């Protein structure tokens, strides 16, 4: 022993002479309480875990870069946004990307039928930008107030601790805006083959702001150069039999062997108004924007070329949020986005700690950070605030930090007026896009979707089965008839079901219903 290796110490810098035996009275004897080295070692170990994420607990992080094209398709991008990250062709920005599943715990199977998280932290010269999305382009709900309910329905039962289709479809049957997401999730897309062969989407509608303060609505799309691959239930069962973490392993191994995965970032743009001509609301995250009307145009590419050095520091503690935007990017009034923006940093103050932004993985490493924030648990450093260490407030006549000048103008976007209220949006239109998605699928994907719905719904209350068949008949006859057949439910059995209290059907939907009997 000995030789060149460094000596083990405790955290106080004391050398450890014996790491195998506690200090005891005699070789067999009782341990002593002044056994500092042992107590420190064990009590730190006792605190090794932080709470796992309430959603998206299982995930993998890797590092890489984003490279801008300097254009939005054929147009100069500066026409739409002044965000520096996009302006120059070839400009590279460091990124950390975390892929995840949503419902399972930190060590759960990566073969689950579950949306996948696709979160990117861009370390830009203007501070950090987080784009926190998923692989399915839409979401289950359109108002953040429903998030705890949808997640409770999807998470394990509080008594049996099993994920129960009966609970999931009980909630979804009463939540018609979820149908578009369900048609995606129960199709093969609901089990991506791995993280490298999967798309990503910002899902929520954001804004871009140009130098003149003009705004547009935007949606983000990530397209994998590797192509898109999915698994059926049978494929997933075979993979899961050997490996619970196949997607993490696949990504690690690809990066290790220099086969760096790459995605292109494309952006859809819409003028910043309500678009009354559309049959959906551009701020509704249960909808996609038709690409023939709003083309997805490339703005850059992203390459992942480095694995983490430490999973805990870079994957467990990394903290993303939808509020983390840079100059030239902005929020929209999407009611989910606003709720998300509160939730992320709120949970991170609890999960990681109030100073989570002092951790290296979360620091805005490519831009200066100077705040008057002080103290709190686990403060690691004090920002330099001007010359004087005394001035940790603003304004001051003496010293300290000053406010930045506005980059252009302070006011931007359309004028909004309205009464305070609690209302659902008028253009809900919950079935049309789900039906379009169904029709776009290949036959084997439709067959898989129908089988998956039947298997799950067989475990549900008959009232839930009937309501789901009713929804599916509104989505597309073929889907409703086939799922109904699998469950022994005919269209005439559900023809008399009234619409839900929370729903307003369109004339076409009413006409469809009246044909059922």
- Which positions are annotated as active-site residues? 56, 134
Residue with tokens 């924030």: 373
| Contacts to ligand HEM from residues 282-321, by CB under 6 A | 285, 318-320
Give the CA diameter of the chain: 88
Shortest gap between Cβ of 144 and ligand HEM (angstroms)? Answer: 3
In angstroms, rounded to a whole number, what is the distance separating the alpha carbons of residues 53 and 319?
10
Residue with the CB atom nearest ligand HEM in the bound state = 117
Which C-beta is closer to ligand HEM: that of 62 or that of 452? 62
Phi, psi of 60 (to 5 degrees): -140, 140
Window 7-46: contact mask with ligand HEM (x via CB under 6 A):
----------------------------------------
Shortest gap between Cβ of 55 and ligand HEM (angstroms)? Answer: 5
User: Per CB under 6 A, which region of 70-78, 260-268, 345-353, 374-382 contacts ligand HEM?
Assistant: 345-353
Shortest gap between Cβ of 267 and ligand HEM (angstroms)? Answer: 15
Beta-carbon count within 10 A of 356 CB? 18
Helix (H) or strand (E) segment spanning residue 249:
helix 246-256
Give the chain's radius of gyration (CA, Å).
26
In angstroms, rounded to a whole number, what is the distance separating the alpha carbons of residues 270 and 216?
6
Per the omega criterion (within 30 degrees of 0), is the bond before 150 cis? no
Question: Contact with ligand HEM (CB under 6 A): which of 37, 38, 55, 198?
Answer: 55
- What b/e sequence results for 448-477 when a residue is b if at least 16 CB atoms lie within 10 Å of its CB, and e otherwise? bbbbbbbebbeebeeebbbbbbbbbbbbbe
Shortest gap between Cβ of 307 and ligand HEM (angstroms)? Answer: 16
Question: Contact with ligand HEM (CB under 6 A): which of 232, 347, 358, 366?
Answer: 347
Answer whether 98's CB lies under 8 Å from 119's CB.
yes
| Residue 340 lies near ligand HEM (rule: CB under 6 A) | yes
Which C-beta is closer to ligand HEM: that of 63 or that of 446? 63
Which C-beta is closer to ligand HEM: that of 98 or that of 207? 98
On whether 344 is known to bind a ligand per the annotation, the reply is yes
Shortest gap between Cβ of 32 and ligand HEM (angstroms)? Answer: 41
In angstroms, rounded to a whole number, what is the distance separating the alpha carbons of residues 143 and 61?
29
In angstroms, rounded to a whole number, what is the distance separating the alpha carbons of residues 325 and 323?
6
Q: What is the 8-class DSSP label of residue 412?
A: -
| Contacts to ligand HEM from residues 99-118, by CB under 6 A | 100, 117
Which C-beta is closer to ligand HEM: that of 337 or that of 456? 337
| Residue 336 lies near ligand HEM (rule: CB under 6 A) | yes
**228 Cβ contact partners less than 8 Å away, ≥ 6 residues apart:** 192, 197, 198, 199
In angstroms, rounded to a whole number, what is the distance separating the alpha carbons of residues 105 and 112?
11
Between strands 71-72 and 75-76, the pairing is: antiparallel
| Residue 349 lies near ligand HEM (rule: CB under 6 A) | no
Shortest gap between Cβ of 161 and ligand HEM (angstroms)? Answer: 20
Question: Contact with ligand HEM (CB under 6 A): which of 93, 343, 362, 429?
Answer: 343
In angstroms, rounded to a whole number, what is the distance separating the alpha carbons of residues 189 and 51?
30
**Torsion 18-19-25-26 (CA) sign:** negative
| Contacts to ligand HEM from residues 230-269, by CB under 6 A | none
User: Per CB under 6 A, which region of 103-111, 269-277, 324-332, 340-348 contacts ligand HEM?
Assistant: 340-348
User: By rule CB under 6 A, what count of residues binds ligand HEM?
Assistant: 28
Which C-beta is closer to ligand HEM: that of 351 or that of 427? 351
Which C-beta is closer to ligand HEM: that of 69 or that of 344? 344
Nearest to 312 by CA among 59, 54, 117: 59
Burial of 45 (C-beta count, 10 Å sphere; 0-12/13-18/19+) = exposed
Shortest gap between Cβ of 117 and ligand HEM (angstroms)? Answer: 3
Which C-beta is closer to ligand HEM: that of 141 or that of 505? 141
Shortest gap between Cβ of 432 and ligand HEM (angstroms)? Answer: 20
In angstroms, rounded to a whole number, what is the distance separating the alpha carbons of residues 461 and 463?
5
| Contacts to ligand HEM from residues 117-176, by CB under 6 A | 117, 119, 132-134, 139, 144, 147
Residues that bind ligand HEM (CB under 6 A): 53-56, 59, 98, 100, 117, 119, 132-134, 139, 144, 147, 203, 285, 318-320, 336, 339-340, 343-344, 347-348, 351
Question: Binding site for heme: which residues?
Answer: 344
Question: Binding site: which residues?
Answer: 344
């Amino acid at each position: 022993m000995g030789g060149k290796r460094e000596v083990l110490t405790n955290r106080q810098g004391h050398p450890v002479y014996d790491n195998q035996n506690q200090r005891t009275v005699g070789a067999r004897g009782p341990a002593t309480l002044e056994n500092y080295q042992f107590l420190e070692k064990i009590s730190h170990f006792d605190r090794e875990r932080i709470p796992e994420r309430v959603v998206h607990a299982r995930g993998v992080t890797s590092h890489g870069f984003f490279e801008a094209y300097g254009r939005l398709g054929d147009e100069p991008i500066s026409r739409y946004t002044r965000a520096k990250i996009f302006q120059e062709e070839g400009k590279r920005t460091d990124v950390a990307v975390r892929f995840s599943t949503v419902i399972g715990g930190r060590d759960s199977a990566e073969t689950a039928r579950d949306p996948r998280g696709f979160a990117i932290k861009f370390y830009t010269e203007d501070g950090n930008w987080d784009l926190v999305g998923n692989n399915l382009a839409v979401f289950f709900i359109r108002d953040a107030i429903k998030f705890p309910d949808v997640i409770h329905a999807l998470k394990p039962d509080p008594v049996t601790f099993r994920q129960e289709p009966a609970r999931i479809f009980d909630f979804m049957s009463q939540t018609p805006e979820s149908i578009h997401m369900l048609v995606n999730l129960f199709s093969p897309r609901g089990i991506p083959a791995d993280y490298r062969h999967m798309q990503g989407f910002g899902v929520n509608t954001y804004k871009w702001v140009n130098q003149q303060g003009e705004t547009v609505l935007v949606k983000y799309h990530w397209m994998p150069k590797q192509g898109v691959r999915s698994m059926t239930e049978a494929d997933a069962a075979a993979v899961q039999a050997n490996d619970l973490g196949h997607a993490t392993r696949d990504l690690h191994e690809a990066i290790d062997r220099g086969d760096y995965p790459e995605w292109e970032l494309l952006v859809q743009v819409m003028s910043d108004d309500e678009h009354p001509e559309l049959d959906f609301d551009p701020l509704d995250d249960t909808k996609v924007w038709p690409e023939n009307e709003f083309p997805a145009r490339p703005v850059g590419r992203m390459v992942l070329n480095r694995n983490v050095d430490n999973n805990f520091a870079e994957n467990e503690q990394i903290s993303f949020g939808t509020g983390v935007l840079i100059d030239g990017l902005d929020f929209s009034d999407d009611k989910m986005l606003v709720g998300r923006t509160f939730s992320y940093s709120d949970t991170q103050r609890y999960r990681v700690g109030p100073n989570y932004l002092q951790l290296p993985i979360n620091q805005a490493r490519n831009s200066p950070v100077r705040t008057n924030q002080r103290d709190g648990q686990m403060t690691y450093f004090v920002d330099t605030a001007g010359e004087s260490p005394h001035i940790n407030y603003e304004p001051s006549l003496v010293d300290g930090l000053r406010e930045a000048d506005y980059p252009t103008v302070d006011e931007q976007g359309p004028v909004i007026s309205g009464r305070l209220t609690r209302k659902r949006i008028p253009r809900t239109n919950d079935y049309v896009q789900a039906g379009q998605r169904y029709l776009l699928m290949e036959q084997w994907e439709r067959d898989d979707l129908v089988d998956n719905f039947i298997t799950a719904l067989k475990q549900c209350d008959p009232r839930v089965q009937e309501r789901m068949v009713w929804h599916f008949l509104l989505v597309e006859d073929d889907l409703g008839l086939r799922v109904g057949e699998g469950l022994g439910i005919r269209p005439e059995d559900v023809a008399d079901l009234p619409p839900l209290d929370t729903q307003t059907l369109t004339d076409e939907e009413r006409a469809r219903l009246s044909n059922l009997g």
